[in-house]
Amino acid sequence: MIADEDILRAARERWAVPDGASATLINISENLTYRLAAGEWRRILRVHRPGYHTRTGIESELAWLASVRARTGLSTAAAIPGRDGRLVQDAALDTARHLVMFEHLDGRHIAPGEPMAPLFRRLGAQTARLHDHARGWTRPDRFERLTWDEAAVFGPSATWGDWRAAPNVTADIRAVLERVERAVTRRLADWGRAADRFGLIHADLRLANVLVDGQTLHLIDFDDCGFGWFGYDFAAAISFMEDDPQIPALRAAWVAGYREAGALSEADVMMLDTFVMLRRMALLAWIGSHGEAPEPQALAPRFASGTARLGARYLDGAGGV
């Protein structure tokens, strides 16, 4: 782990950080995320995972984020230029790292047991606005982002690794999930990649990346934004809780909200189950390849068996997820 004083030193060298600021690690996932604070001054510092994104890839993310902020009215965190005017900074910490600093947004995560359907309706509407912007946006030259498709999840160079290597994937679980992989791959091939269904998406708009601030939703952490099916953003919204009994109601709320701001056909809705399974299989692989982080460690004991149960329901065509 990187020492807090090294984080602060790197931040002070590149941005105007007040004397006496503290650095608190608030998340370990793909990246290390720190809250920097000094009195009323607050910032979020993202310390990038080595080798996950290139500088061009990060700059591409921030270009879309800036356009979303300027043109949609959606609330997202602004990236803050360093002393040299560049949004992406480099630092030698435990290894060479890219750094990005963001403004701090007030807000809270939804609390356990809190009704989620109203939030999902609002989230659906905001996701539709995000997708509408993506369809009409002219991307800058040298735009580079990941693609979240079947090759990214099931291919020989899968972004998060092979799901078969995840903890507790027994022979029986593997047999079920290999059938799921074949079914998902076939259905995605049949669905295709027409411009009205495949484009630039957030790709990680789960509850951890939504802050509730009164009547405002802040959409944060575009680090995984890339190319994928627009319906994948619903699948990402229910990450890690795909088997929750509330999911049918949350899905209905998200669909209703989406339709308030954008077009979503019945065929689109029918494909959501497939995107949920694609995402769930990606998360299974993620747990296997990110065992150093607290969240995968906590999820690992039961995630493979839960994925197999979801997969069996998917194969049976029982409806819902």
- Of 33, 15, 10, the closest CA to residue 87 belongs to 15
**Rounded average pLDDT per 10-residue block, the chain, 321 residues:** 94 96 94 97 97 97 98 97 98 97 95 89 98 97 97 98 98 98 97 97 96 95 98 97 95 98 97 98 96 88 97 79 47
Cβ proximity of 128 and 234 under 8 Å: no
Contact status, residue 174 vs residue 164, Cβ threshold 8 Å: yes
Neighbours of 298 (CB within 10 A): 12
Half-sphere exposure of 306 (CA within 13 A, CB side): 16
Closest CA to 96 of 56, 52, 63: 52
> What pLDDT does 112 receive?
73
Q: What is the CA radius of gyration of the chain?
A: 20
Residues facing 201 on adjacent strands:
226
What totals of helices (H) and strands (E) does the chain contain, helices first? 10, 11
> Three-state SS for 170?
coil
> First vs last Cα of the chain: how many Å apart?
38
How many residues are recorded in the chain? 321
Question: DSSP for 240-283?
Answer: T-TT-TTHHHHHHHHHHHHHHHS---HHHHHTHHHHHHHHHHHH
Closest CA to 309 of 318, 299, 300: 318
pTM of the model: 0.96
- Residue 320 has a pLDDT of 43
**Side chain identity, residue 188:** L
Distance, in Å, from the CA atom of 261 to the CA atom of 161, rounded to the nearest integer, reads 36
pLDDT on residue 199: 98
Phi and psi angles of residue 53, each rounded to the nearest 5 degrees, phi first: -125, 145
What pLDDT, on a 0 to 100 scale, did the predictor assign at position 291? 83
Domains in the chain, start-ordered, CATH in brackets?
4-103 (3.30.200.20), 117-316 (3.90.1200.10)
Work out the burial of residue 12: count CB atoms within 10 Å of its CB; fewer than 13 is exposed, 13-18 middle, 19 or more buried: middle
C-alpha distances (whole Å) from 64 to each of 74, 136, 200, 224 are: 12, 12, 9, 12
User: How many CA atoms, within 13 angstroms, populate the side-chain half-sphere of residue 236?
Assistant: 24
pLDDT of res. 293: 84
Distance CA 261, CA 123 (A): 11
Is the Cβ–Cβ distance between 223 and 30 less than 8 Å?
yes
